């Protein structure tokens, strides 16, 4: 147990350093480490974790300049990374940040590194101008992306990659989707305005807040009036657009945002699958909050013999696992957890999913292939390989959304099975 007050910056720095270390050791933020942080400290810890991971390439470069040799104590190294992030983003509080980082260091390794933490951070403040100039001159460090990732973006988007990288290093906007089963978007915008929450409409049922807020502060969130969902992700239900009464499969459903959107748009007979029971429980909880009815089943979509009743589907959403290269500002751990070889691994899995789901679609039905990736191997090239295996399939619509200030990056391809 920490002796630090839970509302102190030192406590937040300590917890953030431990989570940062877990990510570098291979653990995803989706595994719930932040959920184990107390409510008082969680907002500060989340800012430190997400911010320092977005800037990890930058922080790693700065530490390389500030340390005379590699630091064996990984927790201390991660503490320095989150403290450097705080110094860069809160320069007016530099004295406090250094003091609190030293206090946090006192909780690690018997306090043996307090002097080192103090010295490194004060040295950064003395040399800041020089260090930032060196950083700007290093294209890899200033990109804040792994070298292999940057090379993939440059190959795929020779004109757009600098903008993609810049957006990937920004905090994401907070976007919402109004539950049209419970009211109109115009009505909800009026509720927000009554509480001095500024927002603007975007897309069919979406809106974007001027400033992010905890969901507890959003009127009607607990009552199911809305969901948090990126506008790019909202395109899935709009493109699949199943007719009322359709039999629909959401094959990789968790956490359930697209599942819920499909049910909000039309009365359909929907089955949502996900591999892990815990993830299925999240889908069920989302549907219950929103007042929606759909069947949820823990099952492997590539093994329909274990779950399919033999009745074909009119529409299938295949929102497949991918590198998440289009949503890294929202999931900054992905940049540092992924390896170059993962692209081929994901592509092989995606192909298995497509091949397993296509026979479940009725003649005349439609399948929407979706990823939150920017890498062509997972997107257009994946669909081209599938069409070579299924020459009668027809590509009805295709779009690659590149990340912008308003939405994340997604790929969609709507496929038709001939009648």
- Distance (Å, whole) CA 392 – CA 90: 58
| CA-based radius of gyration for the chain | 23
Phi, psi angles (nearest 5°) of residue 270: -110, 135
CB proximity list for 280: less than 8 A, separation 6 or greater? 253, 254, 272, 274, 296, 297, 298
E strands within 134-241?
175-178, 199-202, 206-209, 226-228
Question: Which of 114, 252, 322, 372 is flagged as catalytic?
Answer: 372
DSSP string, 42-94: HHHHHHHHHHHHHTHHHHHHHHHHH-SS--S-HHHHHHHHHHHHHHHH-GGGH
Both structure tokens of 11: 């406590």
**Coil/strand/helix, residue 363:** strand
**Coil/strand/helix, residue 272:** strand
Q: Active-site residue 372, yes or no?
A: yes
Both structure tokens of 229: 């969902």
Compute how many other C-beta atoms are within 10 angstroms of the C-beta atom of residue 84.
24
Helices (H), 67-171: 74-89, 94-105, 114-137, 139-143, 147-156, 161-168
Residues 109 and 21 sit within 8 Å (Cβ to Cβ): no
- Distance (Å, whole) CA 307 – CA 41: 43
Distances (CA, A) of 285 to 142, 182, 256, 315, 338: 41, 17, 9, 23, 29
E strands within 255-360?
269-274, 295-298, 313-319
For the beta sheet containing 361-371, the strands, ordered from the edge strand earlier in sequence to the opposite edge, are: 295-298, 269-274, 247-250, 313-319, 361-371, 410-416, 394-401
The one-character DSSP state at 331 is S
Burial class (CB in 10 A: 0-12, 13-18, 19+), 250: buried
> What residues are annotated to the active site?
372
């Amino acid at each position: 147990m920490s002796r630090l007050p839970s509302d102190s910056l030192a406590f937040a720095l300590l917890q953030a350093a431990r989570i940062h270390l877990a990510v570098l050791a291979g653990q995803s933020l989706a595994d719930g480490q932040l959920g184990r942080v107390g409510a008082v400290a969680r907002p500060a810890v989340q800012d430190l974790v997400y911010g320092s991971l977005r800037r990890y390439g930058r922080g790693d470069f700065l530490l390389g300049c500030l340390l005379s040799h590699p630091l064996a104590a990984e927790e201390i190294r991660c503490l320095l990374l989150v403290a450097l992030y705080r110094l860069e983003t809160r320069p007016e509080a530099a004295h406090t940040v250094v003091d609190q980082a030293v206090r946090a260091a006192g909780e690690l390794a018997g306090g043996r590194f307090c002097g080192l933490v103090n010295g490194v951070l004060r040295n950064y403040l003395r040399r800041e101008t020089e260090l930032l100039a060196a950083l700007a001159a290093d294209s890899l460090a200033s990109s804040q992306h792994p070298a292999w990732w940057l090379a993939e973006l440059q190959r795929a988007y020779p004109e757009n990659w600098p903008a993609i990288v810049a957006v990937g290093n920004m905090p994401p906007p907070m976007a919402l989707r109004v539950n049209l089963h419970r009211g109109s978007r115009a009505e909800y915008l009026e509720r927000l305005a009554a509480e001095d929450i500024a927002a603007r409409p975007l897309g069919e049922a979406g809106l974007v807040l001027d400033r992010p807020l905890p969901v507890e502060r959003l009127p009607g969130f607990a009552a199911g009036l809305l969901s948090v969902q990126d506008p790019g992700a909202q395109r899935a239900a709009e493109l699949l657009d199943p007719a009322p009464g359709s039999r629909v499969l959401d094959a990789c459903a968790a956490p359930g945002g697209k599942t819920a959107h499909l049910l909000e748009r039309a009365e359909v007979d929907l089955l949502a699958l996900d591999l892990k029971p815990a993830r299925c429980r999240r889908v069920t909880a989302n549907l219950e909050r929103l007042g929606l009815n759909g069947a949820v089943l823990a099952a492997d979509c590539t093994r329909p013999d274990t779950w399919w009743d033999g009745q074909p589907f009119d529409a299938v959403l295949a929102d497949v696992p991918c590198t998440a290269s289009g949503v890294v500002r929202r999931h900054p751990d992905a940049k540092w957890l992924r390896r170059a070889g993962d692209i081929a691994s994901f592509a092989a899995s995606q192909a298995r999913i497509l091949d397993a789901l296509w026979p479940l679609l009725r003649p005349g039905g439609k399948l929407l292939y979706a990823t939150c990736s920017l890498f062509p191997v997972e997107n257009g090239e994946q669909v081209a390989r599938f069409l070579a295996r299924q020459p009668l399939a027809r590509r009805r619509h295709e779009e690659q959304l590149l990340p912008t200030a308003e939405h994340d990056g997604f790929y969609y391809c709507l496929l038709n099975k001939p009648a």
